[in-house]
A and B are shown apart, each in its own frame.
Chain A
């Protein structure tokens, strides 16, 4: 049973559209991270959110941590083909260990 559920699993959109990816859990995390993974490479950290309700922006990407620190969302505005990839959320648990969600595979078509 996965501790972190990501939705949707797959998303295919046109360039210029907006999208939101969700990461949900029944567990509380001390912090939550979002990683992006491209084919043939390992995941790369995008952001860490720590405080309940926290919002962080990274250019066209907006990350939010839920008030209860159980869920998070990633919103991309005006998606570009370069945003294509696998997006993974990861919650930090006891001992600073990470539990990963199943991932959302995003395809942005030109």
Chain B
């Protein structure tokens, strides 16, 4: 079974609709992230959470909100979807190793969202 799962895998919606993308992990990691991927732009951070009570904005949080329902669950919402939010969305988790070491991020399979 996959350690990081995302639902749905694909979604087509219309402008103005509210959309929720869900992420679940069985890795037991405290840190969770939401990124969007656009061609040629790599991955850009939307929101991140270091534990259940911690939520932080990333580079491109406008138009998005998140909820950390439990250690294992982190959902991303688009309150009123617009066409330029069409992208691949990835959830990731990591475990703080400390001592200056860089976390390894473990990514889910992605959600392809199309906003018409």
| A contact residues vs B (CB 8 Å cutoff) | 2, 4, 6, 9, 30-31, 33, 40-45, 48, 50, 88, 90, 92, 96-98, 100-103
Given known contacts A48-B102, A96-B103, A98-B105, A42 and B42 CB-to-CB distance under 8 angstroms: no
B107 near A43 (CB under 8 angstroms)?
yes
Contacts of A90 in B (CB 8 A): 43
A96 near B96 (CB under 8 angstroms)?
yes
A40 near B102 (CB under 8 angstroms)?
no
Shortest distance between the CB of B34 and any CB in chain A (Å): 12
A6 to B43, CA, bound (A): 13
Query: 8 extra interchain contacts, Cβ-Cβ under 8 A, other than A31-B102, A103-B42?
Result: A2-B41, A42-B108, A43-B105, A43-B107, A92-B102, A96-B103, A100-B44, A102-B41
A8 to B102, CA, bound (A): 26
- Among the listed B45, B100, B105, which residue makes an inter-chain contact with A45, where contact means beta carbons less than 8 Å apart? B105
- Among the listed B4, B45, B48, B104, which residue makes an inter-chain contact with A42, where contact means beta carbons less than 8 Å apart? B4
- Among the listed A2, A30, A48, A50, which residue makes an inter-chain contact with B42, where contact means beta carbons less than 8 Å apart? A2
B40 near A103 (CB under 8 angstroms)?
yes
Chain B contact residues (Cβ within 8 angstroms of A): what range? Answer: 20 to 34
Residue of B nearest to A43 (CB): B107
Contacts of B48 in A (CB 8 A): 97
Shortest distance between the CB of B65 and any CB in chain A (Å): 20
B42 near A101 (CB under 8 angstroms)?
yes
Q: List 26 A-B contacts (CB under 8 A).
A: A4-B42, A6-B42, A30-B100, A30-B102, A33-B102, A33-B104, A40-B109, A41-B109, A41-B110, A42-B4, A42-B90, A42-B92, A42-B107, A43-B90, A43-B105, A44-B107, A45-B104, A48-B102, A48-B104, A50-B101, A90-B43, A100-B42, A100-B43, A102-B41, A102-B42, A103-B40
